[in-house]
Structure formats: C-alpha cells, structure tokens
Amino acid sequence: MKVGILGNGQLARMLALAGKPLGLDFTFYDPNPTGCANVLGEFIEAEFTDQQRLETFVDSVDVVTLENENIPEPALRAVPSEKLFPPAVAVLKSQDRLLEKQFLQQLDIPLAHYYALEDERDLVEAVRQEAGELIIKTRRLGYDGRGQAHVETPDEASAAWRELSQVPLVAEARVAFEREISLISVRSRSGEIRFYPITENTHHKGILHTSIVRCDDPMQALAEEYATRLMTGLQYVGVLGFEFFQLEDRLLANEYAPRVHNTGHWTIDGAEISQFENHLRAVLGWPLGATRAHSPSIMCNVIGSFPHKTELAVIPGAHIHDYQKETRPLRKIGHVTLCSQDPSALQAGHARLRALVRD
C-alpha cells in the first residue's frame, strides 16, 4: 500500500521509517524540496494550492495523512473525506486558536480564561480587565514560542500588537500551573481509542526540550477522559497530541495537535508500538498496537546543533535520532531518548544529556 503525506519534515520522515518495515511505500507532497523526508519515498514538489498536482498526488496513493496542522485548506479539501485521515475538520479547527478554544468549550473541557481580540483596542481593554499578565498569541500559525508575547500593561499591549503584525489574536490569562503535561492518543477508523502514558514536559526558549514519561500518573484518567471527548467529537482517526496545564487536581487544556507529536517521540524506543506505527495502523484501518511503555524513558530534543555523537553514544540507554536537517539556531534537528529500568541511571543520564543538547 502507498501512503501519501502532506509535508516533508521530520514527522513525515519518522512516519516513513515506521512504515517501511510494514511494507508500506510513501509519497510526500510539499513545496519545499529541502525537507528531510523525501529520501524515503517519492516526492512531489508543488504548491498546496496547485489543484492539478494535488489531484495527481491523491490518485497515486491509497490514503492521505499529514505531518503538520498548517496545511492550507485547499489542499485538505482536494482529498476525498474517505481518503483523508485525520479529517479536515479536526485540522481546520486546530489552525485557528479561537475556533479550537470554542470547540473545546462546547465539549466541556476546561480552559484558562481567554479573550478574542480583533484590534489593538480589544487588546488594551483585555489587559485592563484582567489586571494581570496575559499571554498573547496569533490566532493562526506560530509554534515553538513564535507568534506570542506576554503583556501586563496597556503600553506593553500596544507594543505587542505591533510586534505580532496586527492580526487577530487570542489572549489567555496566565495561570499558576504546577506542570505541563501531554497525552498521546490514537483512534482507529472503527472508533477504538488507546492511550500512551502521560509525559511531563519542560521548555527552553519556548521550544519543547524534555518529555519525561510518567507511568501511573494520577492525571492519566482525567486526561484520557478529555481526549476521548475530543476525539469522539471530531470523529478523529489517527494519533492526536493533547497538551494540558495541571493545577492541583485539575487540568486546563492548552491545545491539541491533529498529528503525531513531539512529546510522543519517546515511543519509538520506549513503547511496544510507537506513535508513528500506530498512526499508520489507524489511518489504514488496521488493528491498533499496544501502547504500553516497556521502559521508563526521557526524551530530549536536540536544538540548534548536534553535540559530537560519541558524547551521546557513551550515555547508557541513549537512542540517538538525527533528522538530517540543516543546523540553525532554535531549530529542532533531532532527539535523544534514554531508556532504563534503573531510576538512578536514568536520572544520571538525563543530567548528562541535558547539558549537551540545549541550544
């Protein structure tokens, strides 16, 4: 079978690496020929608005999926609904932070208080009403800390409006959360849902740096409940990443990603079946695989540039993943997962790894 992927980056690459042992072939569609996935299959270099090339792409594959949620709507609409997984509606809602928040509210999934902002006056008024720090985000695009600003005063609000290119925004009240966690879920075409263990996440300069697997976490059941509501409400198929803030025994939704997710990269080395293989199983209509963690694991992103590989390889339990991307400041170019049944060895390895991979 041939799987079509909209996108040509590291997530497409890892999907293909998971699919090759299953006998799957891949075609990647992207306007950027310098991505790191296209060496693993056929590549179509074309714009996402090129309907003729899109039609050729769709006709050449058995199923279509995507590696990022910013695929333009014309490309999503060019794929018949019976061939596109996850469904277009799940992707389109995630592309607009306001629509995403409104949908989560409809499902009774808790959120931090937020404001919809159309212009500078709305932003200044929100700051006055909140009388505290607000996190400002563009409604569309923006990732890894981009398209965001923190404001507390009307003057800061006006500066943020100019800095964020004067586009529609959402403002979120800053919450004193205890930790950030995420849940990787997968839903099949038949509606079966499986969950991986929660990860506890830390960021550096707005970019995910570390995900620590937390088996038997007390927040697992509540996170699964919210993810089930979301995936059922979207009639979702595939892997979905769902990020939360924890405040005591409560969870507030941050955002969801309709795709395989950075906080699930540990599953390649630390789970029975990786998120990438399970995504392929789901979109192809195959039975889902086990999501159990077979080893305590910690995943760290490699940001900016790789340290010497021998410095990483000497760490016990280290699994190195180099995406073969051009180095650039603040760019994710790989990750390393540590797996060990020995908690002290895992923590010692983490300390060594953390010192090596931060940009």
Q: What is the CATH number of the domain that holds 27?
A: 3.40.50.20
Q: Which of the residues in the chain have pLDDT under 50?
A: none
The whole-number pLDDT of residue 128 equals 74
Q: What is the dihedral of CA 131, 134, 140, 143, to 10 degrees?
A: 180
Whole-angstrom Cα distance, residue 220 to residue 245?
13
Which pLDDT belongs to residue 355? Answer: 86
Strand partners, 292: none
Amino acid at site 230: L
pLDDT attached to residue 255? 94
Per-residue pLDDT, 144: 52
Torsion angle defined by CA atoms of residues 76, 82, 83 and 85, in that order, rounded to the nearest 10 degrees: 70
How many domains does the chain fold into? 3
- Do 224 and 119 sit in the same domain of this protein? no
Q: What is the CATH number of the domain that holds 136?
A: 3.30.1490.20
My answer on whether 243 and 290 are in the same domain is: yes
Report how many helices (DSSP H) and strands (DSSP E) the chain contains, helices first.
12, 17
Q: Looking at the structure, tell me whether residues 149 and 263 fall in a common domain.
A: no
Encode pLDDT of 219-261 as tens digits: 999 999 999 999 999 999 999 999 999 999 999 999 999 999 9
Give domain status of residue 323, yes or no. Answer: yes
Strand order in the sheet with 25-30: 42-45, 25-30, 2-6, 63-66
99 in any annotated domain: no
- Write a three-state SS string for 107-150: CCCCECCEEEECCHHHHHHHHHHHCCCEEEEECCCCCCCCCEEE
Assess if residue 105 is contained within a domain: no
Asked whether residue 220 falls in the same domain as residue 163, the answer is no
33 is in which domain, residue-wise?
Answer: 2-84
Give the CA count within 13 Å in the CB-facing half-sphere of 207: 16
- Whether 34 and 74 map to the same domain: the answer is yes
82 to each of 154, 234, 259, 276, 352, how far by Cα in Å?
A: 49, 15, 18, 21, 47
Residue 55 sits in the same domain as residue 117: no
Position 148 scores a pLDDT of 72
The answer to whether residue 94 is domain-embedded is no
Spatial separation of the C-alpha atoms in residues 195 and 184, rounded to whole Å? 6
What's the whole-model pTM score?
Answer: 0.94
Residues 264 and 225 placed together within one structural domain of the fold: yes
Length of the chain counted residue by residue? 359
Q: Are residues 185 and 54 in the same domain?
A: no
CATH number (domain holding residue 192): 3.30.470.20
In a domain, 107, yes or no: no
Q: Is residue 348 part of a domain?
A: yes
